[in-house]
Structure 1
Amino acid sequence: MNHLLTTRRQFLSASGVCLALPWLERFAAANDAAAAPGRAVFICVPNGVNMWEWHPATTGKDYELTPPLKNLADVRRRFTVFSGLQHKASPGHGELGVWLTANANYTAGKGAVTRSTISIDQHIAEVVGRQTRWPSMVVGATGGRRTISFDRQGEPILADHDLAAIFAELVGVKGREKLPRRASILDLVSSQAANLRRELGQSDERKLAEYLDAVRAVEKRVQADLASQATFNAAVIHEDRLRLQADPYVPADYAEYIDTMFELIYLALRTDSTRVVSFATTESEGGGPIKNLPCGNWHGVGHNTNDEPPDRKPKEYGILSEYDAWWTARLATFLQRLQSTAEGEHDMLRGTAVLYGSGMSWPATHRAHNLPLLLAGGEGLGFAQGRHIAFNGQQKVIPNDKREHLNSPKLGPDSVSMSDLLRTISQQMGVVAKGFGESRRTLVELLM
């Protein structure tokens, strides 16, 4: 049989394709070191939220899900919502450069953070990334320097945005132009897959079938994108923009793009191609891809709220609510995907810590206190989920005419910051992060 086995990573290979396989008990049993890995996924949705609705009113396990969190009802015991966390910096549209670095000196548009500042995902990847094909997976809808990942010199890790190129690299095809447009990659490895099935038990055979179905579903999406390329005038499309049907800068379906990107992230994790993922979902400044969402241009709408009480701007806040719900629906699908995928005696979500949120809170004035954040999964890494935790005495904002909600509380000597959260994620991944950013301690409140 022509499949390769290397510790816990297995492959099917044929005709220039090297398709990584998911975690299978058949091979894990032969290798005591083949335990399910720990993973960290960072998902940034820029430009803030409808702050009147985001945070729960009570803490603990029995809090009531707020409107944007109701999409996550089926996984509510698998995530924790935070109130009161912030960075010292209030970076405005430089939030992408601050979210995972805590760099108060970041300047939007300069393309780099202060030297010797690294984002937490890359700090983790320096250690964990040695065990996988890709040290980390850095993606984003706009791509390039619109990234949340920075190296130890403060230079941006350019975000991949080309769905076809990511898929080609994931399945081991060298060069996007070599992707088959009619025949399926799975057809090329069908004989090896059939032989492998005969070696597997019932549980593994089911996992393999589910995985191959997932690969084929993504492949069909990518093939449709490639087939539609001929209708575009590539000369008028800027070099750093997508050349796919899901290109957010041409008439297209941005939802399809985001859904496909989440599927690619899922496949990368399932095949252990990487254990660290960072996803800058869109631009912080607005426009671009977001224009194709049903809720329209959320950026301009956010400014138009002027941070007034919701009864004075019901239309604008209604659009922000729709925007928030659109994203949490995608997050819910991704988390349920991980939860429904068996990995040994547990599921993939148990070994995957997923941080979701924004680098702003109030979009009209670019404020960054009381950030909208939640952490899902990672119970196998030691996280205790299913709660709402309020730090720094933060309470849910109540509408009034005094605009007290706009006062940014300063972090005192004993305050908890978002840096503490990032440090805790890193250390639960086995990578020491003492002194990261503004961190003062590990958040034992999050741990079992």
Structure 2
Amino acid sequence: MNATDPAVLAREQWLGLSRRRFLRGLGACIALPAFDSLGAAKVLGAAPDSQLAVTATGAPLRMAFLYFPNGAIQDAWWPSSEGTDFQLNNTLQPLANLRQHIQILGGLDHLNATPGPDGAGDHARANGTFLTGVRMKKSATEIRAGVSIDQVVAGRIGHLTRLPSLELTCDAGHNAGACDSGYSCAYQYNLSWSSPTTPMTPEANPRQVFERLFGAGSPGERARNLERQYQQQRSILDFVLEDAHQMERRLGARDRDKLDQYLTGIRAVEARIQNAERLGLAKEPACDAPPGIPADYAQHVQLMFDMLVLAFQTDSTRVATLLLAHDGSNRSFSEIGISEGHHELSHHFGDAAKIRKVAQIDLWYVKQLAKFLEKLEQTKDVDGQSLLHNSMIVYGGGNADGNAHSHVNLPILLAGRGGGTLTPGRYVRYGSRPASNLFLSLSDRMGLQSLERFGDSSGRLGNV
């Protein structure tokens, strides 16, 4: 196409104006690596007195929630002693070199995941309750859960980053139909909920995640392609919103509710574009985009962890979730010599051989976690601390004992120092407290001290 073609000139003019608009007033170091001489607050454009998702040094404070399925073998999970002298049990041994960065939290429950009047369906309830703390409606068609804690936080701090939150999975699923004993599949395949009826569908393809963060194409092309994508999305959104508002007047109450749920997703895309325009584009990492979803599960898990590290490192988001596998997952682990399905084995009924195999699977997941935490610890943040120091990483599941389908004393650990506000390097037993209390305490550190209750919380969790 001729460079003097009016269409080409118009496109280039738009891209130039768009780039200037993105960067105006932000400075050239928006997404550059940290320079100690500039100071963390200047690099990030964060106001020194801001109380939202920042550490005392002005560096970003991040939170992430990582979910593993089907509970854990209790005797292999819990340390043998409390306090700072705790001895890691077999399952958590891969974290030995990180013990000063983690705290194992005992005695946290999700009572709304128990059967109660609803009967079977513990896997759906475990998954759906984990970050919401509420009892879900048992239905395959009329879903109702609650807003998850990540979305509560993202709703308050999401304007600070290009993406208000990032939802990832290594277990592509679906949101329609029945999956577990009459519960909608939406409960089992989603951790994050923006409203009681709207799950935040996670992305399973690491390439799609990379391109969402940095744009498609080869290095040098990504920023321009991402700007072009935003322009196209903006045009489509304007059309859709205008059409929807015209239609709304002709709809009944039930259809208006459906339209409102749809528009919630549309507005989320619009907010993401606005944030990108205001904050500028992230600096491209010096690596190629992942080719897609690898056949090897361990590679898939590590690629998704890599995407999460990149998202935190470039301050593209400060809130994330990662569903390693849905509760009830029956994945086999031939790479460690286990041909039976995980869920099948978790109902071991005391069979010693099956218990050993489930413990091996639990160990496999913790090995993946350890690699991720090591990457965070090795990556320097804008204030000279590590990304792990300036993060709060919750790793756990909504089932405690997969054989008994219990939901008390959940296997949960918390990694990171929360920018110096947490006290890792210990094993703490809280008796019996709602896991929602922990989430309230973490949201305080993100600047949401005005949040009085969450889920089934009974108060803040002290001594964290």
- TM norm structure 2: 0.69
Deviation by residue 1:246-305 (Cα, 9 ceiling, x = unmatched) = 1xxxxx2111111100000100010000000011111222235867765342111111x1
Question: In structure 2, which of residues 47, 61, 71 is the aligned counterpart of residue 33 of structure 1?
Answer: 47
The equivalences for 1:121-270 within 5 A come to 121-143=150-172, 144-145=174-175, 146-173=189-216, 179-180=217-218, 185=219, 215-217=285-287, 219=288, 222-223=290-291, 225=292, 244=293, 246=294, 252-270=295-313
Query: In 2, distance between residues paired with 1:110 and 1:288?
Result: 26
Deviating more after overlay: 143-152 vs 267-276: 143-152
Is contact 2:106–2:410 with CA below 8 Å preserved after alignment?
A: yes
Structure 2 counterpart SS, 1:375: strand
Contact kept in structure 2, 1:140 and 1:282, CA below 8 Å? yes
Distance (Å, rounded) in 2 between the aligned partners of 1:290 and 1:328: 14
The residue that corresponds to 2:76 in the other structure is: 53
Q: CA 1:437 to 1:290, structure 2 compared with 1: closer, same or farther past 3 Å? A: farther
Q: Residues 76, 106 of structure 1: CA spacing in aligned structure 2 closer, same or farther, 3 A cutoff?
A: farther
Identity of aligned pairs, percent? 27
How many matched pairs?
350
CA contact (8 A) 2:390 2:417 kept: yes
What corresponds to 2:457 in structure 1? 439
Q: Give the counterpart of 1:385 among 398, 402, 424.
A: 424
TM-superposed CA distance for 1:315, in Å, is 1.4
- Structure 2 partner of 1:317: 355
Distance 1:259 1:340, change over 3 A: same
Q: Note if contact 1:8-1:23 (Cα within 8 Å) is conserved in structure 2.
A: no
2:414: which partner in 1? 375
For residues 2-26 of structure 1, give each alpha carbon's deviation from its aligned partner in whole angstroms, at most 9, with x where no partner exists. Answer: 9958648846xxxxxxxx5444436
Give 2:123's match in structure 1, choosing from 93, 96, 102.
Answer: 93
State whether residues 8 and 28 of structure 1, in contact with CA within 8 Å, keep that contact through their aligned partners in structure 2: no
8 Å CA contact 1:87–1:418 kept in 2: the answer is yes
Query: Which residue in 1 is equivalent to 2:148?
Result: 119
Alignment-mate amino acid for residue 301 of structure 1: L
Distance 1:52 1:269, change over 3 A: same
SS of the residue corresponding to residue 194 of structure 2 reads coil
* Superposed CA offset, 1:132-168 (max 9, x none): 0100001112245411001133421111112111111
Counterpart of 2:441 in structure 1: which amino acid?
Answer: T
Which residue, 53, 77, 84 being the options, matches 2:107? 84
SS of structure 2 residue aligned to 1:337: helix
- Secondary structure of the equivalent of 2:193? coil
1:321 Cα shift?
1.4
| 2:394 equivalent to 1:355 | yes
The aligned residue for residue 345 of structure 1 is: 384
Amino acid at match of 1:445: N
Question: Are 2:61 and 2:418, in contact at CA under 8 Å, matched by a contact in 1?
Answer: no
Distance in 2 separating the partners of 1:289 and 1:135 = 34
Partners of 2:425 and 2:316 in 1: CA distance: 29
Gaps of 5+ in 2: 1-18, 49-57, 115-121, 176-188, 224-281
1:72 and 2:101 matched = no
Question: Shift of residue 440 of structure 1?
Answer: 1.6
Moved more, 327-336 or 21-30: 21-30
Matched-pair contact (CA < 8 Å) for 2:333–2:361: no
Q: Evaluate the alpha carbon distance shift between residue 136 and residue 160 of structure 1 in structure 2; reply closer, same or farther with a 3 A threshold.
A: same
C-alpha spacing 1:355/1:342, structure 2 compared with 1 (3 Å):
same
Post-superposition offset of 1:87 = 1.0
Are positions 1:44 and 2:83 aligned together?
A: no
Name the counterpart of 1:400: none
- Residues 44 and 6 (structure 1 numbering): CA distance in 2 closer, same or farther, change over 3 Å? farther
Query: Counterpart of 1:389 in 2: which secondary structure?
Result: strand
**Which one-letter code corresponds to 1:102 in the other structure?**
G
Paired residue type of 2:346: G
Which runs of no fewer than 5 residues in structure 1 stay unpaired? 12-19, 174-178, 190-210, 226-243, 247-251, 393-414
5 Å-filtered alignment, 1:323-342, equals 323-342=361-380
The letter for the 2-side match of 1:96 is N
Distance in 2 of aligned mates of 1:47 and 1:33: 43
Rate the CA distance shift 1:9–1:359 in 2: closer, same or farther, 3 A.
farther
Distance 1:141 1:292, change over 3 A: farther
Give the C-alpha shift of residue 89 in structure 1. Answer: 2.1
Counterpart in the other structure of 2:343: 299
- Which stretch of the first structure deviates more once superposed, 290-299 or 152-161? 290-299
Q: CA deviation at 1:85?
A: 0.9
Per-residue deviation, residues 337-393 of structure 1 (Å, max 9, x unmatched): 11111222311111110000111011123211110000010341511111111121x
Asked whether the equivalents of residues 121 and 149 of structure 1 are also in contact (C-alpha less than 8 Å), the reply is yes
Query: What does the per-residue CA deviation read over 1:59-114, in whole Å, with 9 as the maximum and x for residues that have no partner?
Result: 10001101111100111011110111111123511111100001123437558333
Contact in 1 for aligned 2:131/2:150 (Cα 8 Å): yes
- Look up the match of 2:321: 278
Aligned partners of 1:149 and 1:157 also within 8 Å: yes
- 2:252 aligned partner: none
Determine if contact 2:437/2:461 at 8 Å carries over to the other structure.
yes
Structure 1 vs Structure 2 CA RMSD: 2.8
